[in-house]
């Protein structure tokens, strides 16, 4: 079973993915995390990705598709696609890439969150650079201020979480990623979680878990 989490930046895809990993043994495949690691390691791929990511822009399809293709060589089942695909071109390519490794997308879960809430969430977001868990300075505080509960690392703000960059990311989401909802909504296995921000994270998780049966 492979799952895709669709939703705007800050809609809670990463948080739900964490739960699916911890409780059901799924593997989180976040193209954003993977590319941030390349940036930290200062690889040439990382340097190329950073040009786009730090501006809040999408990394070109060709680069991201190649990263996914490479990843699917070693993992093609029990994956949670978090942040990929983000364009129609990527979605079409993903269908081909999955077929090549005898796999498919079984569930597409759209976590629908209003824009105003997204802005509040991202403006207070701090993340652990080691385990990638995200916190919020008001609504999801770590036990010790500025320190990750899991591994004691100092929490950081993502460079693209500044208000200007978030505005660019949300525009990009509306223009490039939202059309994917139409694309997937007619396919079997599509689940729409409406007004997800009004629901407790655990309730959203339970809805996802039920959809996996
Ligand atoms: P968020 O969902 O909060 O935007 P991500 O970690 O998924 O966080 O993405 C951060 C950035 O990484 C994006 O703004 C974009 O620059 C780049 N990125 C991640 N996934 C993709 C993708 N599938 N296609 C193009 N760019 C991507």
Helix H, strand E, coil C: the string for 144-182 is: CCCECCCCCCECECCHHHCHHHHHHHHHHHHHHHCHHHH
pLDDT value for 107: 98
Band (198; pLDDT cuts 50, 70, 90): confident
By the 8 A CB rule, do 121 and 127 touch?
Answer: no
Query: What is the fold of 3-26+78-211?
Result: Rossmann fold (3.40.50)
pLDDT value for 210: 96
| Ligand 1 lined by 12 (C-beta under 6 Å) | no
Does pLDDT of 115 surpass 90? no
7 is in an annotated binding site: no
With 0.85 as the threshold, say if the pTM is over it. Answer: yes
Distance, CA of 213 to CA of 206 (rounded, Å): 11
148 is in an annotated binding site: yes
- Active site (catalytic) residues: 13, 86, 125, 158, 169
For a mutational test of ligand 1's pocket, the pick from 83, 129, 164, 166, i.e. the residue with the most ligand atoms closer than 8 A to its C-beta, is 83
| Ligand 1 lined by 125 (C-beta under 6 Å) | no
Helix (H) or strand (E) holding 119: helix 115-123
Does pLDDT of 147 surpass 90? yes
Does pLDDT of 50 surpass 90? yes
CA of 68, closest atom in ligand 1: 23
59 is in an annotated binding site: yes
CA of 84, closest atom in ligand 1: 23
When the pLDDT of each residue in the chain is averaged and rounded to a whole number, the result is: 95
Name the residue ranges covered by the structural domains of the chain.
3-26+78-211
- C-alpha 32 – ligand 1 centre gap (Å): 5
Distance, CA of 135 to CA of 151 (rounded, Å): 14
pLDDT value for 197: 86
Q: Percent of the chain, pLDDT > 90?
A: 86
| Ligand 1 lined by 35 (C-beta under 6 Å) | yes
Band (92; pLDDT cuts 50, 70, 90): very high
């Amino acid at each position: 079973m492979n799952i895709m989490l669709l939703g705007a930046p800050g809609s809670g895809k990463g948080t739900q993915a964490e739960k699916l990993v911890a409780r059901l043994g799924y593997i989180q495949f976040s193209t954003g995390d993977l590319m941030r690691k390349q940036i930290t390691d200062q690889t040439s791929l990382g340097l190329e990705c950073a040009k786009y990511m730090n501006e809040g822009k999408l990394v070109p399809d060709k680069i991201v598709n190649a990263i996914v293709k490479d990843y699917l060589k070693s993992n093609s089942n029990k994956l949670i696609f978090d942040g990929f695909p983000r364009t129609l071109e990527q979605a079409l390519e993903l269908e081909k890439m999955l077929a090549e490794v005898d796999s498919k997308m079984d569930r597409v879960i759209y976590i629908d969150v209003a824009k105003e809430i997204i802005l509040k969430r991202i403006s207070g977001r701090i993340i652990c650079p080691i385990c990638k868990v995200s916190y919020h300075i008001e609504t999801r505080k770590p036990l010790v201020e500025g320190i990750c509960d899991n591994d004691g690392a100092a929490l950081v703000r993502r460079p693209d979480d500044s208000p200007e960059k978030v505005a660019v990311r949300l525009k990009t989401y509306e223009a490039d990623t939202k059309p994917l909802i139409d694309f997937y909504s007619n396919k079997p296995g599509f689940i729409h979680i409406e007004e997800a921000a009004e629901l407790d994270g655990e309730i959203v998780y339970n809805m996802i878990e039920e959809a996996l049966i």
